[in-house]
Chain A
Amino acid sequence: MKYISGRLFLTAAVLLSMMITISCTKHESGSIKVGVAGAHSGDLASYGLPTVKAAELVVKDINARGGILGRKVELLVEDDVCKPEVATNTASKLLSQDVHVVLGHICSGATKAALGIYKESRTITMSPSATNPPLTQSGDYPNFFRTIASDDAQAKLEVDFALDILKLKRIAVLHDKGDYGKGLAEFARGFLEKSGKAEVVLYEGITPGAVDYSAVVQKIKNSGAGAVIYGGYHPEASKLVMLMRKKKMGTFFISDDGVKDVTFIKVAGEYAEGVYATGPMDVSKNPLAIAANDAHKKTYGSDPGAFFLNAYAAAQALLNAIEKGGSTEYKAVSNALRTEYVDTPLGKIKFDERGDAIGVGFSMYQVKNGEYVEVK
């Protein structure tokens, strides 16, 4: 009996829900709500939490100045554990709380899953860390912006560095089979093959969390590669590097901004010396960046973590665009993002048609005496 009534109700329910949708538009008064989504628990929490802190700092600043357009800014923080299926729940939770813009998500996979939902409700989303190229390049997500350069730019830099500066002929490309790492490795292999200057002697994915990587390391050694280009995060990278150095291999190790993390140096210790990694351009001389870092130290008593400045810049850019656009309407904000320059710790930025930040790029770093130093 219930089965049949369920069907009958279905039709009525859907019609009703459409009416609700029509009547339910976003309020134009009250506080401006900024959603902050990312991994705030679990093993990737260290990538997501700095963004929350950055947002808190920016908002505190702006509210102290009286808010934007006469309205206070409010943060709604939600955890997505970097899992796509959780991210859709997170996104719908944020939307049901009527957020105006979203800062996040952190991981590319989760961002991709959530973006579909934001797109349909025409909510501007800005990620400080999702580097997957199609997010902007596919043109599928006009509501998406980011304050970090995409993976192909990183891969290009790594490959150029290996070819032109290190002048290598044989290169091994490895990845961690993850969304981010494998995407990066694919680009690196593509660029290497296109250049014709060097041979990809090895292209493999390693299993994150495996007991040890000695077989892969032997294989690298056997392939006679002059350098390893690795796409992935720092835990596997440090295991690989330590094993390579323990086996007395001098092979160059070139990696990405998942590795350009202090934790990598802390864990790998002396073995980290000489490792190359690309990362966001050095902004340590930028007065805004110095101020942001100082504010973090003052408020939280520690140094900021991964993507902190990117997140800081993203929060500023979003709120600036709302102010310049004069409203939280989708059109006004996205227009302002594309036309108005904003001063951020990453420099003066605005966004191009696809949503990438203009003026944000990567540089190559090398570990020297336990610190990442920019390679000039």
Chain B
Amino acid sequence: MEYFVQLFMGGLTRGSIYALIALGYTMVYGIIELINFAHGEIYMIGAFTALIIASVLTLHGFNEIAIFVLASLAAVIYSSAYGFTIEKIAYKPLRHAPRLSPLISAIGMSIFLQNYVLLAQTSDFLPFPGLIPEFGFMKKYEHISSSAELMIFLTTAVVMVILTCVIKFTKIGKAMRATAQDRKMAMLVGVDINRIISITFIIGSALAAVGGVLIASHIGQINFYIGFIVGIKAFTAAVLGGIGSIPGAVLGGFILGWTESFATGYVSSDYEDVFAFALLVLILIFRPAGLLGKSGSQKV
């Protein structure tokens, strides 16, 4: 039973990260129907920025909490800035292009960003400081989960609630929903489409940065390549939950995290990814639009 709980908690951590990144995928997809392959790279850049800022601050003798807050803030700001810029350069000129062109542009962007960080920084793995503070009360539950894992889950939950509120209750959220439903119609009723798309990219990138900082300080090391695999997994999670649906992305993330964790724990980690993808295929066969996706019939 304890083993089960341990695996459950491990899956929850992993799922939280997937969920945070999947949110970015799903929001962007919901609005401009683009699989943003460069999203994983945003997560990597977030982690790198946090590492750089944290190292500089450590040298200047800041205290731990200040470093954690400032480094995370820097990661969020810079990731958002990158997300914003990438949209302007690589996707905006392609808004009326054939559907696959932005996808190739995104793949190009992803390759570019990886090599940009590789050249400007290093190809080596860098140790990432454990920014997340240790909580005293977690000592008792140490055998099940750690402070970092708890923190990751809590952050995801809080972010998720805030995001839902923003989209449900604010004016911007309303405009986003309108854009997602029908871009032309939204434009006609006075929604500034370009602004909404930019905001979507900024929010999505900020979430990815949060994920990047959390997981990097949990795992303790980063390099320029970490975004790629996580990006693909998060995308899988987004599709699993129904791409374009925000609760779907979170659900998809958790399901994927648990599947991998339990598959490793009870079967073998050799086939961890095979289980994940097989589950995806199975779910899509029975629910072709994902778990929470709208699978209404197509308008003619």
Contacts and interface: CB of A to CB of B under 8 A. Distances in A.
A contacts B: CB pair < 8 Å = yes
Interface of A: 42-43, 45-46, 177, 204-207, 209-212, 214-216, 218-219, 222, 234-235, 238-239, 242-243, 246-248, 263, 266-269, 271
Q: What 9 A-B pairs are tightest by C-beta distance, nearest first? A: A214-B10, A215-B264, A215-B261, A209-B229, A267-B127, A218-B6, A205-B270, A204-B269, A215-B10
B91 to A, nearest CB: 26
Contacts of B229: 207, 209-211
B92 to A, nearest CB: 31
A216 B7 CA distance: 9
B245 interface: no
Interface in B1-29: 3, 6-7, 10-11, 13-14, 17-18
A205 B123 CA distance: 24
27 contacts: A43-B224, A205-B269, A207-B229, A207-B269, A211-B17, A211-B229, A211-B230, A211-B233, A212-B218, A214-B13, A215-B10, A215-B11, A215-B262, A216-B269, A218-B3, A218-B7, A218-B10, A218-B265, A219-B265, A219-B269, A238-B125, A238-B220, A247-B146, A263-B124, A266-B127, A267-B126, A268-B127
A246 B273 contact: no
B125 A211 contact: no
B13 A212 contact: yes
A234 B146 CA distance: 24
A267 B123 contact: no
Contacts of A243: 219
A266 to B, nearest CB: 6
Nearest to B148: A246
B226 interface: yes
Contacts of B269: 204-207, 215-216, 219
Contacts of A269: 127
B291 to A, nearest CB: 21
A214 B125 contact: no
Contacts of B265: 215, 218-219, 222
A218 B10 CA distance: 9
B13 A207 contact: no
Nearest to B130: A246
B21 to A, nearest CB: 10
Contacts of A207: 229, 269, 272-273
Contacts of B220: 238-239, 242, 267-268, 271
A212 B219 contact: yes
Given A205-B270, A218-B6, A242-B220, A211 B215 contact: yes
Q: Is chain B's interface secondary structure helix, strand, loop, or mixed overall?
A: helix
A263 B221 CA distance: 11
Contacts of A263: 124-125
A18 B223 CA distance: 49
A268 B272 CA distance: 25
B225 A239 contact: no
B272 A210 contact: yes
Contacts of A218: 3, 6-7, 10, 265
B182 interface: no
Contact of A212 (B7, B14, B125): B14
B228 interface: yes
A215 B228 contact: no
Nearest to B220: A242
Given A215-B264, A219-B265, 6 more contacts: A177-B270, A204-B270, A211-B229, A218-B3, A246-B146, A247-B146
Nearest to B142: A248
B260 interface: yes
A267 B221 contact: yes
A210 B230 CA distance: 7
B142 to A, nearest CB: 7
Interface string B193-206: 00000000000000
Nearest to A217: B10
B211 to A, nearest CB: 10
A216 B272 CA distance: 10
Max chain A Cβ within 10 angstroms of own Cβ: one of B17, B262, B269: B269
A221 B6 CA distance: 11
Nearest to B270: A205
Contacts of B221: 235, 238-239, 242, 267
Contacts of A212: 10, 13-14, 215, 218-219
Interface in B226-272: 226, 228-230, 233, 260-262, 264-265, 268-270, 272
Contacts of B7: 215, 218
A211 B19 CA distance: 12
Given A204-B268, A248-B142, A209 B13 contact: no
A166 B218 CA distance: 31
A42 B218 CA distance: 26
Contacts of A266: 127
B123 A43 contact: yes
B260 to A, nearest CB: 7
Nearest to B15: A211
Given A211-B233, A242-B219, A216 B124 contact: no
A238 B264 CA distance: 19
B19 to A, nearest CB: 12
A322 to B, nearest CB: 34
